[in-house]
């Protein structure tokens, strides 16, 4: 979700201000992903728009597809298809031979060539995305309380961010946060909508 979208939710009184309020009210960053949002704030926004956070399994299927690819677009890292730790990144693991154009976040949808098999963009890099799921071992079991929104424990983030190394932007990489009320400059989210009339 973008800063501009989140700002509308705050103005409507449905969302609390994130730690980066100065950015989502800044027109220069209106199309960048909102960051420093907690899992609870992400949930509140998704409810406000009539959706929900994706489960970890839904997120991974949207990213990997039926072929089970390593990256949303295929099995080879291509630095022009995502925003990750490249020549603009100060970390020791930066990929110096790649320049994705951004030191921090990029506007949402800046890398259409990095879209997944189902057309979802930004599933690799830019910001970590909260999922609805508790962190539990694989194999995935939907009935082991990992999808209970009232359960406490570590929540899963997926996708990697602008400061991630190549391993962190793989479709299978799992990140988790013990305290869902935590925020970081690279924590964001996306919402999903259930299709009316579709069987579970």
Structure-block tokens of residue 23: 């950015």
Q: Where are the domains of the chain?
A: 56-193
Q: CATH classification of 56-193, choosing from 3.90.1580.10, 3.40.50.300, 3.90.1150.10, 3.50.30.50?
A: 3.90.1580.10
Structure-block tokens of residue 66: 């039926």
Q: Is-contact 135 156, C-beta < 8 A?
A: yes
pLDDT of residue 149: 82
CA angle 178, 32, 34 (to 5 degrees): 30
pLDDT of residue 19: 67
Examine residue 139 and say whether the peptide bond preceding it is cis (omega within 30 degrees of 0).
yes
pLDDT of residue 117: 97
Structure-block tokens of residue 74: 């295929």
Consecutive 10-residue averages of pLDDT for the chain (200 residues): 93 84 80 94 96 96 97 95 95 92 95 97 98 91 84 93 96 93 93 76
Structure-block tokens of residue 122: 């930004």
Neighbouring-strand partners of residue 74: 71
Strand order from edge to edge, sheet including 187-189: 174-177, 155-158, 128-134, 187-189
The whole model's pTM is what? 0.92
CA angle 69, 193, 146 (to 5 degrees): 65
pLDDT of residue 157: 97
pLDDT of residue 198: 60
């Amino acid at each position: 979700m973008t800063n501009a979208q989140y700002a509308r939710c705050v103005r409507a009184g449905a969302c609390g201000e994130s730690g980066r309020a100065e950015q989502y009210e800044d027109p220069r960053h209106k199309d960048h992903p909102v960051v420093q949002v907690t899992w609870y704030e992400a949930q509140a926004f998704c409810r406000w728009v009539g959706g929900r956070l994706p489960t970890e399994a839904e997120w991974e299927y949207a990213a990997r597809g039926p072929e089970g690819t390593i990256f949303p677009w295929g099995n080879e890292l291509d630095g022009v298809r995502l925003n990750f730790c490249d020549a603009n990144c100060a970390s020791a693991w930066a990929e110096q031979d790649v320049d994705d154009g951004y030191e921090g976040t990029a506007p949402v949808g800046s890398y259409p060539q990095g879209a997944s098999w189902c057309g979802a963009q930004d599933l690799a890099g830019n910001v970590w995305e909260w999922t609805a799921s508790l962190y539990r071992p694989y194999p995935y079991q939907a009935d082991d309380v990992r999808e209970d929104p009232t359960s406490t424990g570590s929540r899963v983030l997926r996708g990697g961010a602008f400061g991630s190394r190549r391993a962190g932007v793989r479709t299978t990489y799992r990140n988790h946060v013990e305290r869902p009320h935590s925020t970081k400059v690279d924590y964001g989210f996306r919402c999903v909508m259930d299709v009316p009339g579709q069987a579970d």
